[in-house]
């Protein structure tokens, strides 16, 4: 029986439940502007805390600013064990448009503004949302390291990176977490996951349900999930949780019912044989 511990230790001191919650969906179409249902967004955040979720992931670019403001509105003053992870260095030019800007002065502004919006004096986990290819990585991470020394950031993370990026980054600063697109039907970054596991870095899959495609009741995952007595999203998330104790998925949703369904994935136990079967079934679907 392949069981898993339901918590992970990020950066050596942030104890989190291994099923987090991602706030990207709490924004309008194209991740631009406010959510269609503001009150439901607030209910989702509060229900996440009720369900024992204590890692909430966000970014200044979601909305932009909308998701961070909603977190503060819904949850401040925060529970003592809540870990809020946010990101900066990714600018917005409109719905579904994004551009990395890693200028050190801009990154400092990102951190200062996130501190203000989230109403905190220190951000537990701060990700460089994208590496800006136009600016030396040492300059981007050096600024975050300065903010860390000043006590404004606890731990530093990366997003959408490959193994060589992680290694380059670790020459500058300790890296506590890496966020990459990864899911049952998108296993392309498996080497990154394995690298993180080997080095005690939390691997945080975003779009763990493939932007919701994996959760569809008429989709291919749903047919298989039925044989496990689970929903499609529960099976897809349980598969991630069983891959490595360093995997911390952050499924996002704008509805309480979906949040509750996702949360039950932590209770689904898969055997090694079942894991191998699921991995093989979708490993070609790159």
Residue 112 C-alpha from the chain's centroid = 21
Phi/psi zone of residue 162: left (φ > 0), alpha (ψ -120 to 50 degrees), beta?
beta
- Residues 55 and 248: beta-carbon distance below 8 Å: yes
Instruction: Please name the residues in contact with 4: beta carbons below 8 A apart, sequence gap of 6 or more.
Output: 18, 241, 242, 245
DSSP 202: E
Q: What is the bridge-based pairing of β-strands 14-17 and 7-10? A: antiparallel
Q: How far apart are CA 258 and CA 41, in angstroms?
A: 12
Residue pair 33/63 in contact (Cβ under 8 Å)? The answer is yes
Task: Kindly give, in sequence order, each residue whose CB lies less than 8 Å from that of residue 228, ignoring residues fewer than 6 positions away.
Answer: 235, 268, 270, 274
Active-site entry in 21, 62, 90, 126:
62
Using alpha carbons only, how large is the chain's radius of gyration in Å?
18
Helix%, strand%, coil% for the chain, nearest 5? 40, 20, 35
The upper half-sphere exposure of residue 220, i.e. CA atoms within 13 Å in the direction of its Cβ, equals 7
62 annotated active-site:
yes
Q: DSSP letter for 85, please.
A: E
Q: Which helix (H) or strand (E) holds 43?
A: helix 38-50
Measure CA 102 to chain center: 20
Residues annotated catalytic, as ranges = 62
């Amino acid at each position: 029986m392949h069981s898993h511990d339901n918590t992970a230790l990020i950066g050596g001191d942030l104890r989190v439940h291994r099923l987090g919650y991602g706030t990207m969906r709490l924004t309008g179409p194209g991740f631009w502007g406010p959510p269609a249902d503001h009150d439901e967004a607030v209910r989702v955040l509060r229900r996440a805390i009720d369900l024992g979720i204590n890692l909430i992931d966000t970014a200044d670019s979601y909305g932009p600013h909308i998701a961070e403001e909603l977190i503060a509105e819904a949850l401040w003053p925060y529970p003592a064990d809540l870990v809020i992870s946010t990101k900066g260095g990714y600018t917005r030019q409109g719905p579904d448009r994004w551009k990395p800007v890693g200028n050190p002065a801009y990154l400092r502004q990102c951190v200062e503004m996130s501190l203000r919006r989230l109403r905190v004096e220190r951000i537990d986990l701060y990700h460089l949302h994208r590496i800006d290819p136009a600016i030396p990585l040492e300059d981007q991470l050096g600024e975050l390291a300065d903010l860390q020394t000043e006590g404004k950031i606890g731990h530093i993370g990366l997003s959408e990176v490959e193994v060589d990026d992680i290694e380059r980054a670790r020459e500058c600063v300790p890296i506590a977490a890496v966020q990459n697109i990864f899911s049952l039907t998108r296993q392309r970054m498996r080497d990154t996951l394995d690298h993180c596991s080997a080095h005690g870095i939390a691997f945080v899959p975003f779009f763990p349900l493939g932007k919701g495609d994996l959760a569809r009741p008429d989709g291919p995952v749903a047919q298989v999930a039925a044989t496990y007595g689970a929903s499609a999203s529960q099976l897809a998330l349980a598969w991630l949780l069983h891959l490595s104790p360093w995997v911390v998925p952050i499924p996002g949703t704008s509805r309480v019912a979906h949040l509750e369904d996702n949360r039950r994935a932590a209770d689904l136990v898969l055997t090694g044989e079942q894991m191998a079967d699921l991995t093989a079934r979708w490993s070609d679907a790159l």
